[in-house]
Amino acid sequence: MINQEINYLINQTMKNHIVIMAGGIGSRFWPLSTPEFPKQFIDILGCGRTLIQLTVDRFKGLCPMENFWVVTNAAYVDIVRRQLPEMPVNHILAEPAARNTAPCIAWACWRIKQDDPEANVVVTPADAVVMNPEEFRRVIGNALAFTEKSDAIVTIGIKPSRPETGYGYVEAADAVNGEIKKVAAFKEKPDFETAEKYLKAGNYLWNAGIFVWNVRTITEAIKTYKPNIASDMERMQTDADVQTIFPQCEKISIDYAVMEPAAADGKVYTHPADFGWSDLGNWASLHDKLQKDSANNGAVGKVHLYECSNCVVHAEEAGKVVLQGLDGYIVSAKGDRLLVCKRSEEQRIKEFSQQ
């Protein structure tokens, strides 16, 4: 009986595929992140692993390495190969042009379906942070078990800890299967007053952009809600096809293309979760995840702070950094680039980097 259970678990694991979206340029993390070497390939937390490597690490036990897929910009293929050497080279899908998440996800899922028409699939960004990987694996395992036996689309919803205006939200309805609940609606990024109402209501979750489904379910959903994208995928049979067809795909997010219309049809579910997630989209989110000193400073590298408070510093490549008297600043050194910026002016970093 025990051997049968072990064999069952192994067989289930072999059916699981992980799709990592790794095509972004991370412009808000300049100078640490650049278009030539963006944040998903950087050890941004100072832990010895890059964000894409940490993404793979947290799925260990749920999926064999040969079932990982990465969709990325063609310029980053060699970086992916260096950082994930155990992953099959033909599972690195090089986008000839950025077309947002719907074509990205569709391409990966059509490729997976060719190999395994019964595959269970998790789609995740490459640049998120999860502080509790054991709880993450438990939640993903629950979602995979649910989608394996149904035509459900599941999005992972993060229990909010504050009235956040930088994330989209998922409105959860009643539970239908253990912790899994029906999605009532998706909500755009709110203003602060609305975000406070969502937090008090208790049934609104941050949209983490992590999706779980059976490959049959998602390909049928794309055929239903975006037949033009499905048609493009059917025609992409060779590398030459990809080069000519993919850049012509409709540029649209998976949320607009599939999730919102499918939710209106009652086909989308959410698994509420609390595993220390952050999308790590800016310096403020990095400061939130770094260990802080008694003056609320978070630092990576050989950084020495004197009379400083509320700062976030990333200078891992520098031999030694000494800062004195700063309150509420971002300091980042990378190669021949240095940023010193007030945290309150973070939204202007992209502007600064283009000077």
Same domain (yes/no): 95, 205: yes
Same domain (yes/no): 112, 56: yes
> Do 180 and 269 form a contact (C-beta atoms < 8 A)?
yes
Residue ending a domain, among 278, 313, 329, is 278
Q: CA nearest 14: which of 88, 145, 116, 90?
A: 116
The number of distinct structural domains making up the chain is 2
Whichever domain contains 19, its CATH number is 3.90.550.10
Same domain (yes/no): 240, 103: yes
Residue ending a domain, among 259, 278, 297, is 278
- The token pair that represents 157 in the structure block: 């919803």
At 94 the pLDDT is 97
Same domain (yes/no): 335, 220: no
Q: For strands 303-306 and 321-324, give the pairing.
A: parallel
Please state, as a whole number, how many other Cβ atoms lie within 10 Å of the Cβ of residue 281: 18
Q: CA nearest 71: which of 106, 37, 113, 46?
A: 106
Phi-psi label, residue 335: left if phi above 0, alpha if psi -120 to 50, beta otherwise: left
CA distance 187 to 270: 14
Which residues in the chain show pLDDT less than 50? 1-10
CA distance 348 to 328: 15
At 12 the pLDDT is 65
The sign one gets for the Cα dihedral 62, 146, 19, 209 is: negative
Domain residues for 331? 287-353
Same domain (yes/no): 161, 300: no
Residue ending a domain, among 278, 301, 333, is 278
Same domain (yes/no): 172, 216: yes
At 7 the pLDDT is 42
Same domain (yes/no): 33, 89: yes
Same domain (yes/no): 215, 304: no
Same domain (yes/no): 271, 155: yes
Please state, as a whole number, how many other Cβ atoms lie within 10 Å of the Cβ of residue 131: 12
Same domain (yes/no): 292, 274: no
Q: Which residues contact 310 (CB under 8 A, 6 or more apart)?
A: 295, 296, 297, 327, 328, 343
Same domain (yes/no): 243, 303: no
Same domain (yes/no): 300, 258: no
